[in-house]
Structures are given as structure tokens and as C-alpha cells.
Chain A
Amino acid sequence: MTLNVCTAVVRIDGLSRRYGAIRALDGVDLTLQRGITGLLGPNGAGKTTLLSILATVAEPDAGRVSVLGLDPRDGAERVEIRRHLGYLPQELGYHRHFTVAAFLDYVAILKEITNRRRRAEEIAKVLAITGLEDRARTRIRALSGGMRQRLGIAQALLGNPKLLILDEPTAGLDPEQRLRFRELLSGLPGDPAIVLSTHQADDIAAICPQVVVLLQGRVHFSGTPAGLAGTADGRVWAAGARDDRAHLSWRGGDGRWRHIGEQPPAGAELVTPTVEDGYLLLSHAAGAR
């Protein structure tokens, strides 16, 4: 059993998962390369299901998954994947009576760091990376939402993971905290592969060289952020007034209307689309289908 991280970090073929009558994932095929991959989609698109399958916490109904070249269906390979995994679940519950240091100590033991001294060194390292050094003795219930999110990232970083799976790591963060988070991800030691989910298109544009758009359990786009923005080329206009033929339109801060649609409104000028425009157009098309 060897780790194969030279090529694709994650390979997914025909992945499906149902919850009762709901198809959370419906035939997903995907290959994720090293670096940061952003998973973009609305709530209920299947992002959390996909990430929990990659994190070996859930099992697919059908399809094949390979994580770091290993098969999570095999018991020994599943444990090996977990040895190289840092996982931030979407709803990470905390033992609220724990202190920050005691919680990280607990997670470090779950990650098989049983030597007390090594554990303390690892914890000191992730506290420094996430800027929580001064909070080691604070009880988790006394932390603000932003600090808890940082603690969630800190626990994921324990043990130098080769693959970080972060489910909505920027949810609940204010703009400054989101900026700090981007900084943090860009400067991680060991250069781990990262898969993160978000519904903020600007997070993707800022830090992810790869983007995957997941809508209603299917992959609707996989490529670069520039490629996603490019799908809206020639279909985004700025105009002085509203036009009903637009798929989507809203008035921007400058008072001008931004139109996304097939037909230009009267007197409109074509503008360069953003990642968000591309995403909105894709989700509109998926909704209309």
C-alpha cells in the first residue's frame, strides 16, 4: 500500500449517494489535482456529502473513489487515508467544556500522536499557524465564532496532513477574517492538497486554481476560475435601466444595472464577467432545465 500523490489527489467515478428520496450525489465524475480546489454550489447541492465521502466518514451507494491513490472501501487503506487527512466538517461540534489546548490534545490522540511531547509540539505549531497561541487555556464555549472556526482549521492541520478537506471554512467569518483565512491557506507548511467548499464565489476567485461547480448532485463545471468566468463571456452587460429579458439582473453599488442573459438590454455595454457571473449563469441554466 503506497501513497500516490504525484498525480491526481482524488479520482471519482460515477459516485452516487441517496438520502431517502433525495439524490444528494447523482453520478459524479471528477479528478482533482494537487493544490487548492474550490467546490462551489448552493446549499443542498451535495457538497457536504461529497466531502464527507472523501473524508471517509460516509460511504457512497454506487461508484468508485480513490483518495491519495487509496481505496476507502478497503479497511487498511481507509485507515491509511485517515493518517494523511485533515478534515473540517461543516458542523464541527465541540466539547464546549474543553479548553482549546485540551481539545487539540484530544484530536491529536485520535490522529495517533500518542507521544505526549510530540503532541504538545504539534499543538504549539498549529496554534501558532492559526494565531491562537494566547487562547490555549480558553474554554471553547468562551470563543467567538471566528475563533472557533480557526480552532476547527487548527485541528485539521494537526499531524501534517497531505490532504485537507474543509467544508465551508469561511462560513461565519467577517471579511477581515476571510482575508486572514486566505493568507493562512496560502502559507501552509508542507504544501498539502486542499479541497474546500464554499458558496462564496469570491473565495474561489481569490485562492483556488481549480474550481468545481456542483448543482443538484451533479458536476456542472470543472476547470479554472478564469474558465468559469469565461462561460459567461458575451452574456454580462451593464446598463442604465432594468430589462425583463435578463436571466438575472441587479442594481450595483454604482447605480447601474448588471444583466446576465442572452440578449443585451438597450444601450448596454458588454462587461468582463466574473467568477460569480459564470456561477450564476450555470445555476440559472441548471434551474431552468
Chain B
Amino acid sequence: MAEVNPAEVSAILKKQLSGFEAEASLDEVGTVLTVGDGIANVYGLANVQYGELVQFEGGLEGIVLNLEEDNVGVVLLGPYRQVREGSVVKRTQRIASIKVGEGIVGRVVDTLGNPIDGKGAIEGETYEMPLERKAPGVIYREPVTEPLQTGIKSIDAMVPVGRGQRELVIGDRQTGKTTVCIDTILNQKEFYDAGEPVYCIYVAIGQKASTVAGIAKVLEDKGALAYTTIVAANASDPAPMQVYAPFAGAAIGEFFRDTGRPALIVFDDLSKQAVAYREVSLLLRRPPGREAYPGDVFFLHSRLLERAAKIIDNDDIAKEMNDLPDVLKDKVKGGGSLTALPLIETQAGDVSAYIPTNVISITDGQIFLTSDLFNSGVRPAINVGISVSRVGGNAQIKSMKKVAGTLKLDQAQFRELEAFAKFGSDLDPATLSVIEKGKRNVEILKQGQNDPYPVENQIAIIFAGSKNLLRDVPVDKIREFEKDYLEYLDAKHRDTLDTLKSGKLTDEVTDTLTSVAKELSAKYKNKE
């Protein structure tokens, strides 16, 4: 065991005791009638509000979810072994909320905002943000125009995501949904280093604690924890904790959004949250509907995802925003955004199940990941044919838009002709060229795990692909070529890449890219 420094111990004890009050308390109370399955029925608490936190003996908290004539239904947010029939329940006069401040960045917290990473209390000033909050109204919003770079070539090129957008990531188990989102978080390091961080929130719902610990480790190792908060409601936590975890994440995101900064939130995943919500609802004896989900499961997701928004870039209007918590009122700034990447797990590719169709209809587009592609080695396994981004097009930077404009169409054509190629019949040169180009583009869009690409590199390589400059490079050498090509550009033509990054695609730039691609591809041709 490590040596314990007595001075340190006293400091910690002092810190813990600093908030301790030994005064008498006057509370409104009720009595537990029944308790079980994570639900307590409480007699009394006549003035309690819907959604209010109540406290049981022993400090356990619960949220009031059913107000009935002579009793209230409370969902319990923790182990309820100490709660017995007849125990006293106190009102806290506090609507379920989470304490958020600058200090929450880099931490792992639970649904109620308590740190669970063992790094001590959240430091600095904190603000009480309600878990359930109305989404900003129309007047306080702006169209999505700014890109949120995911660092994944196929997404940034073909299904671009803008700041303030809600883009669904959907697919079977083991298709790389989490990886796509973690890579997106890693890619925000560029902006963090540039001093304009996109604050990331990763909400883990119903996952193994070891998985969450693994993700925290990856983020820490890659330097991404410096701008990321993890909200974890693990599989071992009670269902209500899992139901409210995304709301806690959204409350954290709103803190950054309403103080004029961009934020990104990943809900991993909402299918598990829906299952947890079904559990809670059934235990509260609410009538089941389709697939036994309660009637308001659509509202559960729509009110959550509606909180993702791009706030108008005008401080005066933003200050008037609806439903602002009082503590935040004098800190409000315009121009912030909250981008949401909800994840949904499908069963055997069935997107017509209840929850997937709901969330598809709520979001501004979806990224489909399929196991066929994943198993055939196309990773990230994004099926671009059925992936769309309904608003992201306006958010793409100009140079990317020009270069990648035809890529989606090219790939669609390629997939149509690919079937013919499998017959091995003689093909005319035009068809053959489409197929060869398509194969190379597929290769270009492959990408390693935890290896996001800066946007200028993406544009450069996609330019080479879509202009068919790689026809001389064998398909299995594309990855190698890509590496050489980007390294060469970075070393010799940094200014060209910088121009691309600023969104311009001048003739000079295209000439440079073309000549470099030709020069390097000639090298690969000779090798054969």
C-alpha cells in the first residue's frame, strides 16, 4: 500500500467536512408504503412536484414520476436495500438537476453529476442545470452552417455533420458505431489545441464498466479527456439512472451551448435507454404499447434530441432564451451549439423496428453501419448509399463540397456496376473505368481506428480519387500511396493544404495536387 501522508488525510477530511451543517431541519415528509423493483410508493408528500428529487433515509435519492390521489410513485436512483416500509421520505424542493461548471471537463460523472473517477470533487464554480429542460424556441436558433469535422473521410465527404445537427449513428452490434463517435471526439483535439475547443460529452448508457473505463483510457491517452466529460450509467446501475443519463449529458452540453461555445454529445446508446425506460414505465404500471414500450417513448427521445441546437449569434436575443436556469442568466452568450450523435443498435439490420424508426424520424439524417461491409474489410463500415445528412450540406467547407460533390454519385454507380463485374464477363472500357475508380475510392475511404484525418488531408486524397488520378496505382497499394501522398504534401506543399483548409480550391491548388498525385502514382506503376 502506498504511504499515507497525514497532512493530506486531514486536508481531505477538512474538505469533506466543510459542507457539513449540524442544524435542525424542517422538511416536508412522507412515508414509504411499498418498495420494490426500484420503485417506491410514498404516502404523504402532498406538495411534491413532478420530477422533484426526494431523499430517503440513508441519503438515497429518487425522482417523483407518478402523482396520484393519495400516493406518489418514486423511482429510486441507487441501491434501495435500506429503504423499508414506513421509512421517512423528504422533499428536497429541487427539480432533478446536475451541477455543471468548467471543472466538469475531463471528469467521469454519474447521472446525478457525482464524480466517479476518484479525482475528488468537481472544482470551481458550479451551476445547477435541470435534467429536463425545454429545447430553445425557433427565435433563438440559427440554421446549421458551421461544420463539425468528424475526421472520418466518408462522413465528412458524403454525410457531413454541422454544428447543432442531430445525426443518428445506427447499425448492428459490432459494426463500429462507438468507434465512429470516439474518433469524432478525438478529432476535436485539433480545435482544442487551436484554443477553440469543441466540448465533448460521451454518455455511456447500460454499458459494461470495463468498456467505459477502456474508453476513458483511450480518450486520456490521446489527450482528448482535456475537453471531454463522460457521463456513465453502467449496466449495473438502476434503470432510472440509465434513463436519465442522456438528460444529464444534455444538461452539461447546454451549459456550454448557452455560454456561447460549441459542444458535441454522444448518446451511446439510446436503444438501451429506451429499454431502461420501458422497465421503469412497466414497473410504474403505465400501459405498454408497441413492443411493450410506453406510449411516450417517442417523446422521450424527441425532447432529448430537440435540445441539440445552434443558438443565434446575437447575445441580446440569446439572453431572452426560454427556460434558462436563473443561475445561468448573466452568463448567456449567443453563437453556441450542441451537436448530438445518438447511437441506435439494430437487431440483424432491422431498421423498421419501433425505436430505430422513431429516432430516424427525429434526427437530421443517419449514418448506417452494416456488418456486411465491416466483415468485408471496409472500415469504418459506413453504407454511404443509405446514409444521409439532411442539413449538413450547408455546413461543409467549400473546398470539400467541390471535391466530394460527385463522390456519392460515383460510388452509387460503382455499386450498381459492381454486380456485373462479378460475372466476369467482358466489360466495355467505360464500365471498367467506373469499376476501377470505384474500387480505389472504396479503398481511399477506409480508415484505421482512432486515426482521424484533418480536413485538408481528406480533401487532398479525395480529390486524387474523384479525379481518377490513381488509376495507375494498384488497389492494394492505395493505402500506401495515400500515406506517401499526404506526407509529401505536408512536407513540400503545406501552403496548398492550408488553402484547402481555409475552404478555397484555386486552380493553383488543383494543379499542385494533380502533379503530386501523378508523380507519386508513376512510382507505384513502375513497381508492378
Q: Do A and B come from one complex?
A: no
- Residues of chain A having any CB pair with chain B under 8 Å: none
B interface list, Cβ under 8 A from A = none
